[in-house]
Amino acid sequence: MELTAERSLEIIAEQIAQSRKTVSKHVGQALFVSGLYTMGMAVVVAIINIIAGSNGFNPLGHLLWFLLPVVIWLAIRNIKKEEAPVSLVGTLVGKTWWTFAFFALGVFIFGNIWNIVMGHICPPDRYGVAYISISSVIVLLMSMATSITGHILKSRWLVWFGIIAGLLVGVGDSIGVFVMLIDYFSSPLTVAYWYFVRPCPTIFFLALIGLTLPGWMLIKQK
* Buried b or exposed e, range 99-124, using 16+ CB within 10 angstroms: ebeebbeebbeebeeebeebeeeeee
pLDDT at 192: 65
- Work out the number of other CB atoms within 10 angstroms of the CB of residue 130: 13
pLDDT for 139:
84
HSE at residue 15, side-chain half, CA atoms within 13 A, is 10
Enumerate the domain spans of the chain: 11-78+88-220
Task: Please write the tens of the pLDDT for every residue from 118-172.
Answer: 888 877 777 667 777 787 888 888 889 999 998 988 888 889 988 988 887 776 6
Model pTM score: 0.76
Q: What is the pLDDT of residue 6?
A: 67
CA dihedral 56, 194, 107, 150 (to 10 degrees): 140
List of the chain residues with pLDDT < 70: 1-20, 78-87, 127-128, 171-194, 222
pLDDT of residue 38: 92
Which one, of 103, 22, 35, lies nearest residue 72 by Cα? 35
Q: Tell me, what's the pLDDT at 222?
A: 61
Q: How far apart are CA 153 and CA 23, in angstroms?
A: 8
DSSP state for residue 64 in the 8-state scheme? G
